[in-house]
Amino acid sequence: MLLDSGLGGLTVLAEVRKVLPNAPVIYVADYAALPYGEKTERQIEARVPTLLGRLVERYRPRLVTIACNTASTIALSTVREALDLPIVGTVPAIKPAAALTKTGSIGLLGTAATIRQAYVDNLEAEFAAGKRLIRHAAPALVQAAEAKLRGQPVDPAVFAEAAEGLRSQPGGQDIDTVVLACTHFPLVEDELRAAFGQPVQFVHGAQGIARRVEHLTRGQSFLRTLPEFAVFTGDLYDLSALSPALKVYGIDHVDRF
C-alpha cells in the first residue's frame, strides 16, 4: 500500500512497478486532507497514523509506503510505533544531492511543513555539512501537479516563482542540484527545468524507495490481478478528469474510503 495526500505518490508507484511488476499495489490518495503541507505538525500526527491504521485493518497490506515527504518527516516514527508491519518512508534526497553537487550549493523545494522539519535539519547536518542547502516552500507546485494530471492548464509563473524562490537567496545563483522534496514535484520536473534557466539536476527519492520496498519483500511471492484500484478519501467529484492519468499507472477504478 502506498499513501500520499493526492497523486504525488504516483511518482513512487511508477518506480515500484519497475522493480516489482507482479506486486499488487493499493494506491491511497488522502484528498480529504490535501494539502498536507499547509497543515500543522499536530494535524499530520493526528491524521496519518489513524488513517493508516484504518486502511491497514480494511485492506491488510503486507507493507506500507508513505509516499509523501510531509507525512514522513513528521509522522514516520509514530506510524511505525502504531502499526505492526514494515513501513517505508520518504526521505528528502539530501544525501544523493550532496554527493552530486559540484558547486556545493543545493536547492531544496518542498512543502512549507517539510522544509521546517528537524528531520531535514538532521539530514543536512549529517550529509550536507560544508555545503549550502537552500530551502524554499513551493506549495503551489502541489496544485500545479494535480492540475497537470487532470489535463488542466497551469500558469508558468508558478514554476518561475519556485525557481526564483531558490535563486534569489544567498548562494542561489550557484545552485546546480535541486532536491524535489515533495512527491508531487517530479510530475512537473520538465516545467521546473525550463523555469530554472541555469542547468540544474533534480534529485528525488522514488527509486531509492522502490529499492527499499523490493528489499523488504524479497523472496515473497505476488499475484497481481489486473486492473487495480486506488482508494481516495473525500469527494470523488472530478474523477473523470483524473481517469486517463490513473490508467497510465494501471489503476482502473477508485474506491471511496
* Shortest distance in whole angstroms from residue 234 CB to ligand DGL: 12
Cβ-closest residue to ligand DGL?
37
* Shortest distance in whole angstroms from residue 89 CB to ligand DGL: 11
- Catalytic residue IDs: 68, 182
- Taking the least distance from each CB to ligand DGL, the nearer of 105 and 114 is 114
- Cell numbers given for 180: 524535489
- Taking the least distance from each CB to ligand DGL, the nearer of 104 and 234 is 234
* Shortest distance in whole angstroms from residue 67 CB to ligand DGL: 7
- Taking the least distance from each CB to ligand DGL, the nearer of 105 and 111 is 111
Where along the sequence are the contacts to ligand DGL (CB under 6 A)? 4-6, 8, 34-37, 68-70, 111, 114, 142, 182-184
* Shortest distance in whole angstroms from residue 169 CB to ligand DGL: 21
- Taking the least distance from each CB to ligand DGL, the nearer of 136 and 184 is 184
* CA-to-CA dists, residue 51 to 18, 121, 152, 184, 190, angstroms: 27, 27, 29, 20, 33
